[in-house]
Structure 1
Amino acid sequence: MEEQKEYKTLYHIVYLIISTLMSILLATVATLLNWGEWIVYVIAAMIVFSWYLHISRVVSNQTRMAIYTLEVAGLMLYYGSDPVSVADLPLVVIIFIFLSAINNAKTPVLILALIFPVELAYLIITGRFEAKPDTTMAMRLVLGALSIFSATAIALFHQKFQQVERDSRLNLEKQAITAREDNKIFMENISHELRTPINAVNGMSQVILKKDLDEELFNSMDSIYKAGRRLSDDISNILDYSEILTNKLQLSENDYEIMSVVNDISTGFIWYDEYDQLELAIDVKQDVPAILHGDEGKIRRILTLLLDYSMKDTTKGGLYLGVSSSPHDYGCNLNIDILNVGKSLTKDEIADIYASFNTSKNMVKGKNGLELGLVVVHGIVAKMGGFIKIDSPDNATSRIHVSFPQKVVSPRPTLVLKDAEKYKVACYFNQDKYVYPQINEIYKRIIENFKSIVGIEIYVADSLSRLKNIISSRSITHIFVAEWEYKMDPKYFETLSETYHTSIFAGKSFQLPNHSNINIFRKPIYTLSILNNLQALTPGQKDFQHSDEFENAQFNGMKALVVDDDALNLRVAREILQQLGMNVQTASSGEDAIERCNFEEFDIIFMDYMMRGMNGIECMKKIHEIRSARYKAIPIIALTANAVSGARHMFLSEGFDEFISKPIEVSRMARVIKKFYREA
């Protein structure tokens, strides 16, 4: 639309410049041939008036063009009224015919085409030709007439062709709009059809993994759960990619705690066995506000996709995820930095990645096939008004920097340690063990940032003798060592654990002897988890992981109703809610749910959206119409496999209190329930 306005303005300027030059030329001819002074004044007035109309815009574009055309036609009629100059008239007429044709103006073309024959008729009828035109003059007049006729035919054909093209383009645009709408409906349906069985696989896997299983069965169920999670992520990537291509990606903004988001992400990467040998560190800087306002779900997707992309094809080395912020008038820019040690990128690979951001025909290609992760990240970040930058400073590392604006709700610090002066920490990392020296820089970043955030004393040793010297000369309260360092002298560290709070940074497979007092601190290393370790751990607590605060939540006494027309989905939801300590009943249709609500009271309702017969929205509204104060305000949560962008906003606008997408994650469901637990 803006381009069309600029084109129209430019066209008017060009038309006025040409008509002004022609008018000045006519005034000059009139003066030289003594046609009268009055015509010079008329021409000057017409020029001034035309430019006034253009500058002031007091009338519409169409009206202005009509006035310009009439002025030009009048001047042409005057110029052609002389028997000598009439032969020159066709050239001027043709110029303005083509100018009018460019603007797709049919009426001005026809008016201009009639000027020459009208002028000839006028000269013949009035007898202005003093003598019969000679052969040369006659040929000029005939040629002029034919030229104008040809120019008019070309102009009209051009306009017709342009009209056909415009109609075709409009038709294609309508088809594209229809196709996008059809695609949206298709993606919603395919999302529902694919996520429903995945929900059953993931949900029941989570339930079974909580039971007392032998090691072989546990590992098998764990593999099923991981495969389901991976498939669910791949489907999400495809859906997001489709929405980015069709410009349907939507943001659903709310207040969120960035530390909680990062903690959930770090927890999720513990169960990837293939990354057990990677040095993974996650760091949140002190300048990041505690509570921000933005699309929390999309930010989780960005973090997950960045880590997932960076960890693929990287089995050795290290990975650093840093989250920081920079203040602005609108709040802040949230910055996410990935440093990948052990995975470099060539200039051609970086160029291919950037190319994939700008065309639907290219995607990032990895060893295991097409990668949508970075393309989706770019699409989400661009929608948020941010950017992504990728480089590879040397042949051993690569970096990804993402930045996008967020509103600040609470600027208070994200990490606070009470009585920080009481803590004195000794860390032992042997820097010589790493293949890539850049990994040392990763841990230095973590330690220095943590030290600056909470204000505790941290002493770093790069050898066992240095550690012993620190312990003997300082009043140490806590000791952190890495897995490899512990294995070099386990007896020494077991002895230390009898006096000091001692923790080991270790991978998932590492185990301590049964009698050990040392705490296992599972990778990835994360500043929040270190803080929790300092505040909460006591000697002998064997396995400290990045716990999800909702993983073991209990909502005892809370009565829930689950509504879904799929029996397997009902079973999954019932099992998960029962594990959370809730009293659960189920309904297989909207009508069944309404009937139950008329005779029983519930504290919370989980409602599937896409049910046969009465859908979830209709059922939710009818439940709120029940003549009971409880049901007018009862929280009703949309449970749906529709995970397309904007789904949450749609459900909340319809009247649902919250939205949970399938496949259901226990921690996500517990997080939602907690919002309404006190009210219940």
Structure 2
Amino acid sequence: VIGMTQLLACTDLTIDQKEYVETIRESTNNLMAIVNDILDLTKIVAGKITLLQNDYVFNDIIYTCIKMNQYRADEKGILLSCNIDKNIQPVLSGDPYRLNQVLTNLISNAIKFTHDGQVNVNINLIKENEKSVTLEFIVADTGIGIAEDKVDSVFERFIQVSGDNTRKYGGTGLGLTITKHLIQLHGGSIDVKSKQHQGSVFTFYLNILKAKQQLPATSKDENMGQNKLQNSLNGIHILLVEDNIVNQKVASKLLTNQGAVVKVANHGKEALELLKKNKTDIILMDIQMPEMDGYEATQIIRHEMMAEFNNIPIIALTASALIADQNKCLVAGMNDFIAKPYLASELYKKILLQLDPSCH
């Protein structure tokens, strides 16, 4: 539904039709948010969430999170700023995906309930030893705030501090519950200070391990706005490996609309044959398929085909948002992954970043 709506929005529509399409788009995004929240909470309650222990460039994770939320702030005319303590060691070790999720939840929440003013993110080094750092994360906004008698209930599941807010802003009341659980899973804690009509300040603390090997930290664009990607795939040859006909139509149209040349394979075996016969710059690989799945096809491309095919970038198309499944894609030899349903702009950026790593 999301994919077809994106395609429909790119056609010639009347003013009324554009309004209807925008309503569908907002509704599908709200439904996706609800589904994701419920899935996350279910996994937390069942104890099925495990944290990764990967080395990562700390600033990259933070700036990526800011970029993801920047357009929402721009739409509302809100200043979104970020300040990171320069004494924090560049490369840390832990679960960058869950850290991103926690920060995204807090920042998007702050933007959601702020109509004028700003949202500020500050990260401070509190303590450091040979093995780890203790960091303080502060997300402050100038939004509608929370009544003092309601502050203690903001982290309770399915609870929103006001029925009026539920009707006006939507949501499930699960975002902060999930955020608190993820922080506690890291061994950290979170607190909120707020007054109605005077904004809110969410503060949490995490103890994060240092990476054993400090790699040269080449941080992504810290100015957040320079070197923007051009959403043009003109002349790029893409092999789309996907067994679902509807998904084929959506992805093919999104790609050809940007000038890409697309060949479609219905499963892994067919992809291997098409790869031998056609020029291919990049492969979009579904995971679950008949005949041969995406993992097996990727392994063959990486290890059994001629050298000219070994290094073709492969982006996994996965219906799973589980970090463990996404990590499995990388271990299998894929370069990146994108979870369905995906935004057209997100897909374009993933492709362009693989073909030109200098694009940040």
Query: For the superposition of Structure 1 and Structure 2, which TM-score range results when normalised by the shorter chain?
Result: 0.7 to 0.9
Partners of 1:637 and 1:413 in 2: CA distance:
23
- The one-letter amino acid of 1:267's match is Y
**How far does residue 259 in structure 1 lie from its aligned partner after superposition?**
2.4
**How far does residue 640 in structure 1 lie from its aligned partner after superposition?**
1.0
Does 2:173 align with 1:389? no
Cα 1:549–1:216 change in 2 (3 A) is: farther
Cα 1:323–1:209 change in 2 (3 A) is: farther
**How far does residue 373 in structure 1 lie from its aligned partner after superposition?**
0.3
Q: Contact 1:604/1:636 (CA < 8 Å) preserved in 2?
A: yes
Partners of 1:241 and 1:414 in 2: CA distance:
32
- The one-letter amino acid of 1:249's match is I
Cα 1:599–1:316 change in 2 (3 A) is: closer
Cα 1:391–1:616 change in 2 (3 A) is: same
Alpha-carbon displacement from aligned partner over 1:76-100 (angstroms, at most 9, x marks no partner): xxxxxxxxxxxxxxxxxxxxxxxxx
Cα 1:394–1:565 change in 2 (3 A) is: closer
Partners of 1:677 and 1:233 in 2: CA distance:
30
Does 2:295 align with 1:597? no
**How far does residue 642 in structure 1 lie from its aligned partner after superposition?**
1.0
TM-score normalised per structure 1: 0.44
**How far does residue 290 in structure 1 lie from its aligned partner after superposition?**
11
Q: What secondary structure is seen at the aligned counterpart in 2 of 1:586?
A: strand
Partners of 2:110 and 2:354 in 1: CA distance:
38
Does 2:315 align with 1:637? yes
Partners of 2:9 and 2:91 in 1: CA distance:
34
**How far does residue 622 in structure 1 lie from its aligned partner after superposition?**
3.1
Cα 1:671–1:409 change in 2 (3 A) is: farther
Pick the aligned partner of 2:287 from 609, 620, 633.
609
Match of 2:178? Answer: 376
Q: Contact 1:556/1:582 (CA < 8 Å) preserved in 2?
A: yes
RMSD of aligned Cα (Å): 3.4
- The one-letter amino acid of 1:658's match is D
Q: Contact 1:248/1:645 (CA < 8 Å) preserved in 2?
A: no
Q: Contact 2:51/2:95 (CA < 8 Å) preserved in 1?
A: yes
Does 2:26 align with 1:222? no
Match of 2:228? Answer: 549
Q: Contact 1:561/1:586 (CA < 8 Å) preserved in 2?
A: yes
Q: What secondary structure is seen at the aligned counterpart in 2 of 1:646?
A: helix
Pick the aligned partner of 1:265 from 69, 80, 92.
69
Pick the aligned partner of 2:122 from 316, 323, 327.
323
Q: Contact 1:345/1:391 (CA < 8 Å) preserved in 2?
A: no
- The one-letter amino acid of 2:68's match is D
Cα 1:599–1:373 change in 2 (3 A) is: same
Mapping 1:159-308, distance limit 5 Å: 201-211=1-11, 213-252=13-52, 253=54, 254-255=56-57, 256-270=60-74, 276=76, 280-285=78-83, 287=85, 293=92, 295-308=95-108
Partners of 2:12 and 2:73 in 1: CA distance:
23
Alpha-carbon displacement from aligned partner over 1:617-638 (angstroms, at most 9, x marks no partner): 1222233355311222322221
**How far does residue 409 in structure 1 lie from its aligned partner after superposition?**
6.3
Q: Contact 1:625/1:631 (CA < 8 Å) preserved in 2?
A: no
Pick the aligned partner of 2:206 from 404, 417, 423.
404
Q: Contact 2:240/2:284 (CA < 8 Å) preserved in 1?
A: yes
Cα 1:577–1:331 change in 2 (3 A) is: farther
**How far does residue 528 in structure 1 lie from its aligned partner after superposition?**
4.8
Cα 1:236–1:290 change in 2 (3 A) is: farther
Cα 1:666–1:386 change in 2 (3 A) is: farther
Q: Radius of gyration: which is bigger?
A: 1
- Aligned residue pairs total 337
Match of 1:588? Answer: 266
- The one-letter amino acid of 2:98's match is K
Higher relative contact order (CA 8 A, sep 6+): 2
Pick the aligned partner of 1:621 from 289, 296, 299.
299
Q: Contact 1:321/1:337 (CA < 8 Å) preserved in 2?
A: yes
Does 2:237 align with 1:566? no
Q: What secondary structure is seen at the aligned counterpart in 1 of 2:106?
A: helix
Pick the aligned partner of 2:141 from 339, 353, 369.
339
Match of 1:352? Answer: 153
**How far does residue 662 in structure 1 lie from its aligned partner after superposition?**
0.8
Unmatched runs of 5 consecutive residues or more in structure 1: 1-200, 357-361, 417-526, 533-547
Alpha-carbon displacement from aligned partner over 1:522-542 (angstroms, at most 9, x marks no partner): xxxxx856xx6xxxxxxxxxx
Pick the aligned partner of 2:337 from 659, 668, 671.
659
Partners of 1:628 and 1:412 in 2: CA distance:
33
**How far does residue 567 in structure 1 lie from its aligned partner after superposition?**
0.8
Q: What secondary structure is seen at the aligned counterpart in 2 of 1:285?
A: strand
Q: Contact 1:608/1:638 (CA < 8 Å) preserved in 2?
A: yes
Partners of 2:121 and 2:296 in 1: CA distance:
45
Q: What secondary structure is seen at the aligned counterpart in 2 of 1:364?
A: coil
Q: Contact 2:124/2:137 (CA < 8 Å) preserved in 1?
A: yes
Partners of 1:262 and 1:590 in 2: CA distance:
37
- The one-letter amino acid of 1:264's match is M
Cα 1:280–1:296 change in 2 (3 A) is: farther
Cα 1:556–1:315 change in 2 (3 A) is: closer
Partners of 1:598 and 1:564 in 2: CA distance:
18
Cα 1:596–1:560 change in 2 (3 A) is: same
**How far does residue 378 in structure 1 lie from its aligned partner after superposition?**
1.2
Mapping 1:421-460, distance limit 5 Å: none
Q: Which has the higher helix share?
A: 1
Q: Contact 1:317/1:342 (CA < 8 Å) preserved in 2?
A: no
Q: Contact 2:37/2:175 (CA < 8 Å) preserved in 1?
A: yes
Identity percentage of aligned residues: 23
Partners of 1:335 and 1:234 in 2: CA distance:
26
Q: Contact 1:284/1:323 (CA < 8 Å) preserved in 2?
A: yes
Does 2:352 align with 1:674? yes
Question: 605-614 or 280-289: which moved more?
Answer: 280-289
**How far does residue 303 in structure 1 lie from its aligned partner after superposition?**
3.4
**How far does residue 244 in structure 1 lie from its aligned partner after superposition?**
1.2
**How far does residue 561 in structure 1 lie from its aligned partner after superposition?**
0.7
